[in-house]
Amino acid sequence: MTAAALRKPELVCPAGSLRALTVAIDAGADAVYMGLKDATNARNFAGLNFDLSATREGIRYAHTRGRKVLMALNTFADARDPSPWMRAVDVAADLGIDALILADIAVMAYAARTHPGLRLHLSVQASATNHEAIEFYRAHYGVQRAVLPRVLTLSQVAHVIRNSKVEIEVFGFGSLCVMVEGRCILSSYATGQSPNNFGACSPAAHVRWIENADHSVDARLNGIQINHFAPDEARAYPTVCKGRFEVDGEVGHAIEEPTSLNTLPILPELMAAGVAAIKIEGRQRSPAYVEQVTRVWRAAIDACYAQPARFSPQPAWTAALGRLAEGQQHTLGAYSRPWK
């Protein structure tokens, strides 16, 4: 397939801070996605995210360079008091956000009714894995793009794109989620705080690092031990799905081994399928991570678009992403299921 027949996907990169936003733009992101400093977004960690001043500055920085800013308003509103989510919609509209990334139907309805000119994207947290579900959100709320959960094969992604009237965005690189996003209750089971409402897997207030006499460390979530690290072992942030547990007398990653999604090897197939955007996961990661990953993916998308038939990941790209991957491991995840 020639470049003329391909759609060049947008590169959508994470920003957990104003610094991360600016380096993503400078490194070649077409759009960045960010969230406010509250429970309305699914990366609600202390020290992350944007206040109103930083949001204004980030939008100004991006727009003066011809780029976009998307706001993740992607947790589910508290039915007892949904006003913070509705206020966030108003704030986004007033500040000139290029699109809202939404999961909650009530919040979508409010946005569509109150700000009809505001572009809406369906969050991965909405768990829409087929074109019928996506069409529901388009028909009722005017959604113009949908982000697919990381559970579909490449052929399933292509099927959704062929049958959808909206743009389709997929994850290209970053941490994997073993669950269908938006449906995970592991943290809720362990702590009573749902990641779909509170905005974080393993809320920090419940995380405890306990150093033992031999300098090994136990990671606990609300008193539940979910990992044990040797004295010199790297310690990833503890989440239940990536914990190590004893099962039938053997200790290991019972649910998911930490590894990063990396779709560079199938970039020509993703572009041929017609994906509108490729998303990089990692709003909780450092600006240095954001900058390095963005530079690699900018170069890769440009190279693939120019010569799709001759594209292959350059060793330098693979090495750079390998240094940034969880556990220094890559996988195609659900995209590659040769047994199906």
Residue 246 is predicted with a pLDDT of 82
The model's pLDDT over 17-56, given as tens digits with 9 standing for 90+, comes to 999 999 999 999 999 999 999 989 888 777 889 999 999 9
pLDDT higher than threshold 90 for residue 289: yes
Helices (H), ranges, 144-266 = 154-162, 186-191, 195-198
- Amino acid in the structure at residue 61: Y
Give percent above pLDDT 70 in the chain: 92
The arithmetic mean of pLDDT across residues 73-78, rounded, is 93
Residue 239 CA: distances (Å) to CA of 74, 103, 215, 230, 334:
20, 22, 21, 18, 20
Alpha-carbon distance 163 to 133, whole Å? 11
pLDDT higher than threshold 90 for residue 242: no
What are phi and psi for residue 210, nearest 5 degrees? -115, 115
Q: What does the buried/exposed string (b/e) look like for 265-297 if buried means 16 or more CB atoms within 10 Å of the residue's CB?
A: ebbbbbbbbbbbbbbbbbbbbebebbbbbbbbb
Q: Are 85 and 104 in contact (CB under 8 A)?
A: yes
The arithmetic mean of pLDDT across residues 230-246, rounded, is 81
In this prediction the pTM is: 0.89
Q: CB-hemisphere CA count at 13 Å for 23?
A: 19
Q: Which residues contact 334 (CB under 8 A, 6 or more apart)?
A: 150, 151, 152, 153
Query: By C-alpha distance, which of 317, 331, 9 is closest to 161?
Result: 9
Residue 93 is predicted with a pLDDT of 97
Alpha-carbon distance 201 to 240, whole Å? 8
Q: Are 160 and 167 in contact (CB under 8 A)?
A: no
In the predicted model, what is the mean pLDDT of the chain?
Answer: 90
The model's pLDDT over 304-333, given as tens digits with 9 standing for 90+, comes to 999 999 999 999 999 999 888 776 666 777
Residue 203 CA: distances (Å) to CA of 182, 207, 315:
16, 7, 37
Domains and CATH numbers, the chain: 3-176+259-335 (3.20.20.70), 186-253 (no CATH)
Residue 66 is predicted with a pLDDT of 98
Residue 281 CA: distances (Å) to CA of 43, 124, 137, 260, 269:
11, 12, 23, 10, 20
- Amino acid in the structure at residue 84: P
